[in-house]
Amino acid sequence: MNRKLGRGFGLLWTAATVSGLGDGVTQVAGPLLAVSITRSPTLIAGLMVAQQLPWMLLALPTGAMVDRVDRRLAMASASIARAVALGVLAAMVLAGHASMPVLYGIFFVVGCAGLVYENASTAVLPALVDRSGLERANGRLQSATTLARSLIAQPLGAWLFALAAWVPFLLDASGLALVAALVAALPAFVNAAPAQGHRPTLRASMLEGVRWLLGNRLLRTLALTVAISDVGLGAVFAVFVLVARVRLGVGPLGYGLLLAATAVGGIVGGLLAVRVVSAIGPGWVLRAEMIVEILTYLGLALTRSAIVAAILLALLGMHLVMFSTVGASLRQSLAPPNMLGRVHGAYRLASNGGMLAGAALGGLISTHFGLAAPFWLGFTAMTAVSVAVWGTLNNRDIRTARQS
C-alpha cells in the first residue's frame, strides 16, 4: 500500500501507525484512571484541558521552530520525551502514587511533545508526496492512525487497564521508542528550507505564519469552522467516560468499544475520502460533513442506548476523518513549503483553542445541567458555524485557490 507513495512515506506511515496504537491505549487508560480517582465531571474534564493547554501556549513557537530545525530530529526528540513521561506515569501508577495532579502534569508534558511531533510530521509530508497525492496520503495516514488508535488500541487499552492499570502507559512508552527510530530514518530532504540571507527572529516568524493564515480567506474560514466545531468535540469527549458509565450504562470495556465504533467510521472515512472528493468536490464534502456532525450531536443528546450511540459515533468518526483529510490537504497545498510548520501551528492554535474551551465548558455544564448538555452545546455551535461559512466553503473557490 505504501510502496507507490515511496519509502519515505512508508516510514512516516509506519511511525504514525505505531504512535496511533500507543496514543489510543493511553487515551482510554487515562480517563479510566481518572474515573478510578474521582467522579467529578470538572476534574475529569481537566485531563483534556491539560492535553490541550500546550497548543494554546506553544503552537506558534513550535510551528516556527520546525520551519528552521531538522524536522526528523524534532520528531524523534518529541517521541523520546513522550516515552519518558509515560514511563514515569507507569512507574507511579505501579507504586500507587497516581493522583489527578500527577495525571495533569504528565498529560501536559505529553501534549507539549505531541504538538512538536504533529507540527513536524505535517510539514514533512509534502516533501515525501507530490501535491496530487496529498489527499490520498493524508487519507491513508488518517485511516491507519484511526485503525491503530481506536479500533485496536482503545479496546486493548481498556482490557489492559483492567488487567493492570500501569501496563497501557508502559506499552505506549515502548512504542514511542520505535517511533523515534523510524522518523530518524526519514530522508534528509524533508527538512525545512534553509534560510536565505537575514533570518527573522522567532517572534517575527510566528507572526508571519499567523498573518499568512489570516490573509488566506479559505484557510481562515476553515480554521474558524474547526475551532467552533472543536468546542463541541472538546465538551463531549472531556466527559465521555462518564457519559458511557452513567448515561449509556457500560463498563470500561464498553467504553473502549464505543470509542472503537468511532474508529470504524474514521477508517471508512479515510479510505473513501479521495473517491468522495473526486465525485462531489472538496467543498461539498466539507458542507456534507458539517451536516453529519450536527445530526450526530442531536442523536447522541436524545439516546440512552449504547448501540444507537455506537452507530452515531461511527458517523461522527467518518465525518472527522474526511473533514480533516480535506483540511490537511488544503493547508499542505496552499501554504508555502518553508512556512508549513508556522501555518499549521497557527491553524492548530485556533482549533485546539476551541477544544480547550470545550473541555472546560464540558465539565462545567455537565455538573450543572447533566451529561447530555455537551451534546446540545455541540449541536448549537456546529449549526451556527455551518450557517456562517456555508457560502465560502464551495468547490469553485477551493479549486481557484489551489490553482493560484
Structural domain includes residue 198: no
- pLDDT tens-digit map of 99-112: 999 999 999 999 99
Instruction: Identify whether the C-beta of residue 54 lies closer than 8 Å to the C-beta of residue 108.
Output: yes
Structural domain includes residue 23: yes
Count of structural domains within the chain: 1
Cα 388 versus chain centre, distance:
24
Least confident of 46-55, 184-193, 318-327: 184-193
- pLDDT tens-digit map of 233-266: 999 988 998 999 899 999 888 888 898 888 788 8
Residue type, 106: I
**pTM confidence score:** 0.70
Cβ-based neighbours of 376, under 8 Å, separated by 6 or more:
297, 301
pLDDT of residue 230: 92
Structural domain includes residue 182: yes
- pLDDT tens-digit map of 283-302: 898 999 899 999 999 999 99
H/E/C letters for each residue in the chain? CCHHHCHHHHHHHHHHHHHHHHHHHHHHHHHHHHHHHCCCHHHHHHHHHHHHHHHHHHHHHHHHHHCCCCHHHHHHHHHHHHHHHHHHHHHHHHCCCCCHHHHHHHHHHHHHHHHHHHHHHHHHHHHHCCHHHHHHHHHHHHHHHHHHHHHHHHHHHHHHHHHCCCHHHHHHHHHHHHHHHHHHCCCHHHCCCCCCCCCCCHHHHHHHHHHHHHHCHHHHHHHHHHHHHHHHHHHHHHCHHHHHHHHCCCCHHHHHHHHHHHHHHHHHHHHHHHHHHHHHCHHHHHHHHHHHHHHHHHHHHHCCCHHHHHHHHHHHHHHHHHHHHHHHHHHHHHCCHHHHHHHHHHHHHHHHHHHHHHHHHHHHHHHHHCCCHHHHHHHHHHHHHHHHHCCCCCHHHHHHHHHC
CATH label of the domain that carries residue 220: 1.20.1250.20
Determine the structural domain holding residue 369 and report its residue range: 3-189+203-403
pLDDT band at 398 (very low <50, low <70, confident <90, very high): confident
Does residue 41 have a pLDDT over 90?
Answer: no
pLDDT of residue 303: 96
Interatomic CA distance for residues 194 and 30, integer angstroms: 40
Task: Write phi, then psi, for 372 (nearest 5 degrees).
Answer: -85, -15
> Averaging pLDDT over each range in 9-23, 198-212, 257-271, which range is the top one?
9-23
Does residue 197 have a pLDDT over 60?
Answer: no
Structural domain includes residue 196: no
Residue type, 98: A
> Averaging pLDDT over each range in 61-70, 78-87, 316-325, which range is the top one?
78-87
pLDDT of residue 4: 60
pLDDT of residue 192: 56
Structural domain includes residue 197: no
Residue 195 CB coordination number (10 Å): 12
Does residue 2 have a pLDDT over 50?
Answer: no
Q: What is the mean pLDDT of residues 357-375?
A: 92
pLDDT of residue 342: 82
Q: What is the average pLDDT score of the chain?
A: 86
Cβ-based neighbours of 203, under 8 Å, separated by 6 or more:
none
Q: What is the mean pLDDT of residues 277-288?
A: 89
Instruction: Identify whether the C-beta of residue 192 lies closer than 8 Å to the C-beta of residue 66.
Output: yes
Structural domain includes residue 270: yes
Q: What is the mean pLDDT of residues 355-374?
A: 92
Does residue 6 have a pLDDT over 80?
Answer: no
Does residue 89 have a pLDDT over 80?
Answer: yes
- As a whole-number percent, the residues of the chain with pLDDT over 90 amount to 40
Least confident of 148-157, 184-193, 394-403: 184-193
pLDDT band at 199 (very low <50, low <70, confident <90, very high): low
Cβ-based neighbours of 278, under 8 Å, separated by 6 or more:
none
Does residue 180 have a pLDDT over 80?
Answer: yes
- As a whole-number percent, the residues of the chain with pLDDT over 70 amount to 94
Structural domain includes residue 26: yes
pLDDT of residue 1: 40
pLDDT of residue 189: 59
Residue 77 CB coordination number (10 Å): 19
pLDDT of residue 3: 41
Structural domain includes residue 195: no
